[in-house]
């Protein structure tokens, strides 16, 4: 079975939103000498490939522990979009027929997970409305946010809340061709959390029958 790993490697170098808590791993025991290796981490939950929960962007939202796992598991469509820097993906940029309830956008606009750039592409609220009308309940993007870097109103996050669409951010789709796959990207069972890192993978479509 072909597995596409769509999660960036997590290291202290991975870029997080400016001002957010960076990733660090603290080693408390090490081999040889100790009979065990033991460590802990400190980090923003918005780390690498991650699921935002609705409590991140709305006062009435849910913690990530209450999100239905079906959002992050099942038939999924990868769509390529090439746009000028900083632009939102709008309905007119969508050329493909939507064939799955989970849709991931590859923009190539945040090419290095270890190097922050402000001018990544994002989603438009109109696109989220259109996708929700077509039965999409999860969207993903290969950038750190579904809204532009400097957005204060966070219109796309608000649209996600109002249409109850789940979201994956920070995924890596550079090696993945457009088309249909099975997505597995389960959040941790973190009570009341606003987000969770995920190990996001895609399985080739034929695995759907397994």
The residue (of 10 and 203) whose beta carbon lies closer to Zn ion is 10
Counting residues that bind Zn ion (by CB under 5 A) gives 3
CB of 53 to Zn ion, least distance (A): 9
Give the residue closest to Zn ion by C-beta. 46
Residue 190 phi, psi (nearest 5): -95, 110
CB of 27 to Zn ion, least distance (A): 27
Q: Catalytic residue at 56?
A: yes
Q: How far apart are CA 123 and CA 172, in angstroms?
A: 16
List binders of Zn ion among 68-97 (CB under 5 A). Answer: none
Angle at 56 (CA atoms; ends 192, 58), nearest 5 degrees: 105
Do the beta carbons of residue 168 and residue 141 sit within 8 Å?
Answer: yes
- CA 176, 8, 98, 180 torsion-angle sign: positive
The residue (of 8 and 182) whose beta carbon lies closer to Zn ion is 8
CB of 52 to Zn ion, least distance (A): 4
List binders of Zn ion among 10-49 (CB under 5 A). Answer: 46
CB of 156 to Zn ion, least distance (A): 12
The residue (of 52 and 147) whose beta carbon lies closer to Zn ion is 52
- What are the residues whose beta carbons fall under 8 Å from the beta carbon of 100, sequence distance 6 or more? 75, 76, 77, 136, 180
Q: Choosing from 56, 93, 149, 162, which is the catalytic residue?
A: 56
Do the beta carbons of residue 102 and residue 138 sit within 8 Å?
Answer: yes
Do the beta carbons of residue 22 and residue 16 sit within 8 Å?
Answer: yes
Q: How far is CA 153 from CA 39, 118, 124, 127, 150, in A?
A: 38, 17, 12, 17, 9
Based on its alpha-carbon atoms, the radius of gyration of the chain, rounded to whole angstroms, reads: 17
Query: Taking CB under 5 A as the rule, which mask of x and - marks residues 130-169 in contact with Zn ion?
Result: ---------------------------------------x
| Of 52, 142, 147, 155, the one binding Zn ion by CB under 5 A | 52
CB of 17 to Zn ion, least distance (A): 8
The residue (of 96 and 164) whose beta carbon lies closer to Zn ion is 164
Q: Residue for token digits 């603290």?
A: 26
The residue (of 46 and 102) whose beta carbon lies closer to Zn ion is 46
Q: Please tell me whether residue 67 binds Zn ion under the rule CB under 5 A.
A: no
> Catalytic positions, please?
56
Give residues in contact with Zn ion (CB under 5 A). 46, 52, 169
């Amino acid at each position: 079975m072909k597995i596409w790993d769509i999660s960036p490697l997590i290291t202290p170098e991975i870029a997080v939103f400016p001002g957010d808590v960076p990733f660090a791993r603290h080693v408390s025991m090490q081999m040889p000498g100790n009979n065990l290796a033991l460590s802990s981490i400190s980090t923003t939950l918005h780390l690498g490939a991650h699921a935002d929960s609705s409590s991140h962007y709305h006062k009435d939202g849910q913690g990530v522990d209450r999100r239905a796992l079906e959002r992050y598991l099942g038939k999924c469509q990868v769509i390529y979009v090439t746009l000028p820097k900083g632009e939102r993906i709008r309905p007119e940029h969508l050329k493909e027929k939507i064939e799955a309830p989970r849709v991931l956008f590859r923009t190539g606009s945040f090419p290095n997970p270890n190097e922050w750039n402000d001018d990544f592409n994002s989603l438009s609220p109109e696109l989220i409305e259109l996708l929700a009308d077509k039965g999409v309940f999860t969207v993903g993007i290969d950038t750190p946010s579904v809204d532009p870097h400097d957005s204060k109103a966070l219109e796309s996050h608000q649209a996600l809340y109002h249409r109850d669409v789940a979201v994956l951010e920070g995924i890596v789709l550079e090696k993945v061709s457009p088309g249909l796959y099975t997505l597995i990207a389960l959040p941790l069972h973190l009570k009341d959390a606003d987000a969770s890192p995920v190990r996001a993978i895609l399985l080739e479509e034929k695995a759907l029958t397994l």
